[in-house]
Chain A
Amino acid sequence: MELQSGQNIALAAGPIHFSLASEPSSYKGQLDLCVFLLTESGRVTGDDGFVFYGHVNDAAGAAVLQPALASVVIDTARLNTFVTRVVIAVSIDVNAGAARNFGQFTSLTITARTQTGEYRFQLVTAGMSESALILAEIYLRNGAWKLRAIGHGFAGGLAPLAKHYGVDVQEAAKQHSTPPPSSPHPGQATPSAPTAQDSAPKRIDLRKRQPVSLEKPTQGFGEIKINLNWSRGHVKRGFFGKPKGGIDLDLGCLVELVDGKFVVQALGNAFGRLDAPPFTKLLGDDRSGESASGEIMLINGKHWQEFKRVLVYAFIYEGVPNWSAADGVVTVTAPGIPELIVRLDESAVGQSMCGIAMLENDAGRIRITKLVEYYTGHEKLDKAHGFGFKWVAGHK
């Protein structure tokens, strides 16, 4: 059955399978579906109620998103009782290709399949300036779920859409307005990070999670480089000029390949290698932050198909766990994408571990999601992301 914008229809009980198609289909890789689980007030139930590529299902499993397939399954039986409306929306990832708004598409078609029926809503998008659209919603009406086709949205993309439903969104512009941190090396050029940030395309910063997606390459990626730089803080020089009391930040990552899991970090001399698993290598160890290039981690992108995910972290090996004094900047670069720059400038007192970013293999694409989550140590970080390593104290 064909639906038009504004039209509603009663749904049979059971899960509803939504899938999105676009015309022309060449832009499909740029489309990101998302779901808002809303209470009676029209606002999300909390962070868990915003399901998108950085959070692909809610805790109850009522909304399960498959970003690569542009599909989502809503199981109303699993929804919390205070959820009375579920919104299915789509936004354009402007970093992933040439499409900037839906006017560049001819049409979008969202199909909802239930056990008893199939409902199609084709939205003619030619001439539209919107870059985020509410496609459809299901809502409770007199105790039963109904489906409504919508097709309205926002020219400003995902940020105003998410705000509309009460998601706490920090816009990229705010980040741009903060002055770059002072260079840890007076008289030398500041590391390229702040300049790169200023010139980088404007992108959405969903406060904790800032995703960037890459077009699927034909044969792996080149080199993916992760750089950690930080300021020495107030270093007192000892009698022989040896720095004392500075902060030692260590860069590391948890690597999950299709077969096998690895830790790559200086601690325990687990530097890794590029030509064989874990295809990830830490170059040296900057004990003081004085090296202009800081610490560098390389990932061999040619073997990306063997990766499941990489969790990049930094931890304070020596010195008081004071992140705002360390002024750390992590830059993730891969060929052909804007740099992802993460500043570790939040004050997280007593927490020496910071989960920085997650790189995931999303059907061959790299999904980079900014995390910036602070923990008391490796074990807590691991636990939060379910890698399942056994942790023992070590030294270097």
Chain B
Amino acid sequence: MAVSLQKGGRVSLEKAAPGLKNIHVGLGWDSRVTDGQEFDLDASVFLVGANGRVKSDDAFVFYNNLTSPDGSVEHTGDNRTGDGEGDDEVLNVYLEKVSSDVAKIIFTVTIHDADARRQNFGQVNNAFIRLVNKDTGIEVVRFDLGEDYSTETAMVFGEIYRQDGGWKFNAIGQGYSGGLAAMARQYGVNV
């Protein structure tokens, strides 16, 4: 059975799913039920070193750069509306391919054009991130971002990080203002 984490919760992927190598990372949220412009949420991934910054700009995987240089992270494409059951955006992570100088893989979601559309995470319901073992199809860990968000336009959903030679997952759920550009700058991407 999948581990369900609260905000700030951590779990060893080795313990939760021994032998886990290839991960389907699903991110989801409810699509807008009222009339008006859809919420276009974009998943992005930052592969950062021990200093918390990307080694190069292409270690920022997003809708215009779908694969990391080491091939360890693949973005499967942009869902523009959040329609449909289950995952709205999916990333594949191949742990064995992760470059040795990457300490953390950070999964973020930002609201596209948030300021112009006057949208924020206070208006988005039922966001989640889940990790599924790609080889078995079994869900390993899930984090429902039940936090009471407000005017944040960018959100760190969670991260996979190295510890003691293995990988752990941390449920973060921390929001920021400023959207994708501010988020990217924070991790050392030249925007």
**Interfacial chain A residues near B149, Cβ < 8 Å:** 6
Contact flag A5-B123 (CB < 8 Å), given A141-B148, A146-B148: yes
**Interfacial chain A residues near B120, Cβ < 8 Å:** 5-7
**Interfacial chain B residues near A223, Cβ < 8 Å:** none
CA distance A164 to B34 in the complex (A): 9
Q: B165 at interface (Cβ–Cβ under 8 A)?
A: no
Q: Which of A150-158, A179-187, A338-346, A381-389 contacts B (4 or more CB under 8 A)?
A: A150-158
| Contact status B123-A6, CB under 8 Å | yes
Q: Chain A interface residue count: which class?
A: 20 to 34
Q: Nearest Cβ in chain B — how far from A157, in angstroms?
A: 11
How many pairs of residues, A versus B, come closer than 8 Å at their CB atoms? 49
| Contact status B34-A6, CB under 8 Å | no
Q: Which residue of the partner chain B has the closest CB to A9?
A: B150
Q: B46 at interface (Cβ–Cβ under 8 A)?
A: no
Q: Is the interface of B mostly helix, strand, loop or mixed?
A: loop
Q: B122 at interface (Cβ–Cβ under 8 A)?
A: yes
Q: Chain B interface residue count: which class?
A: 10 to 19
Q: Nearest Cβ in chain B — how far from A29, in angstroms?
A: 24
Q: Which of A6, A128, A156 has the most CB of B within 10 A?
A: A6
B35 is contacted by which of A8, A130, A148, A150 (Cβ under 8 Å)? A130
CA distance A175 to B122 in the complex (A): 39
| Contact status B148-A8, CB under 8 Å | yes
Q: Which residue of the partner chain A has the closest CB to B124?
A: A6
| Contact status B121-A6, CB under 8 Å | yes
Contact flag A154-B123 (CB < 8 Å), given A6-B150, A8-B148, A146-B148: no
A5 is contacted by which of B32, B33, B118, B148 (Cβ under 8 Å)? B118
**Interfacial chain B residues near A156, Cβ < 8 Å:** 35
**Interfacial chain A residues near B123, Cβ < 8 Å:** 5-6, 150, 152
B positions within 8 Å CB-CB of A: 32-36, 118-123, 148-151
- Sorted nearest first, the 4 A-B pairs with minimum C-beta distance are A6-B122, A152-B34, A6-B120, A6-B123
